C-alpha cells in the first residue's frame, strides 16, 4: 500500500473520518442489540410458559439476593435457550421492510 497525503484518512480530515466511522459502527451495534433484545422480550411475552420456566430457573439457580453473572450460563439452560431464541429471531428481522427500499 502506498503512503499518500491525498487519502481521506490523512491528518485532520482523517481523524474526522475515523471518528465518523467509529460513531457509525457504535450506532449500528446499538441498533442491532436493541432490536434483538426487543424481539427476545416480545418472544417471551408471547410464550408465557417459556417465560415462567425461565423465571423459575432464575429463581432456583440465582435466587433473589444477587445478580446474574456470565459464569451462571452453565446452570441456566432453559433461560439461555429462550433468550438465545429471541436473539436469533431479532437478528434475522429487518428494521425496515425490504419492500420500502425498492424504488
Domain ranges of the chain: 17-93
Residue 5: pLDDT band with limits 50, 70, 90: low
**pLDDT tens-digit series, residues 71-85:** 887 787 776 676 676
Q: What does the pLDDT read at residue 65?
A: 92
Q: What is the mean pLDDT of the chain?
A: 76
Cα angle for residues 35, 37, 99 (degrees, 5° grid): 25
Distance CA 18, CA 11 (A): 11
- Inter-residue contact 12 to 60 (CB < 8 Å): no
- Inter-residue contact 93 to 43 (CB < 8 Å): no
φ, ψ of residue 63 in degrees (nearest 5): 85, -175
Amino acid at each position: 500500500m502506498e503512503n499518500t497525503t491525498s487519502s481521506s484518512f490523512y491528518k485532520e480530515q482523517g481523524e474526522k473520518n475515523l471518528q465518523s466511522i467509529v460513531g457509525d459502527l457504535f450506532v449500528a451495534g446499538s441498533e442491532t442489540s436493541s432490536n434483538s433484545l426487543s424481539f427476545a422480550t416480545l418472544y417471551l411475552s408471547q410464550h408465557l410458559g417459556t417465560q415462567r420456566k425461565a423465571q423459575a430457573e432464575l429463581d432456583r439457580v440465582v435466587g433473589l439476593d444477587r445478580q446474574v453473572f456470565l459464569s451462571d450460563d452453565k446452570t441456566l439452560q432453559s433461560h439461555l435457550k429462550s433468550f438465545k431464541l429471541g436473539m436469533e429471531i431479532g437478528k434475522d428481522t429487518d428494521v425496515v421492510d425490504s419492500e420500502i427500499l425498492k424504488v
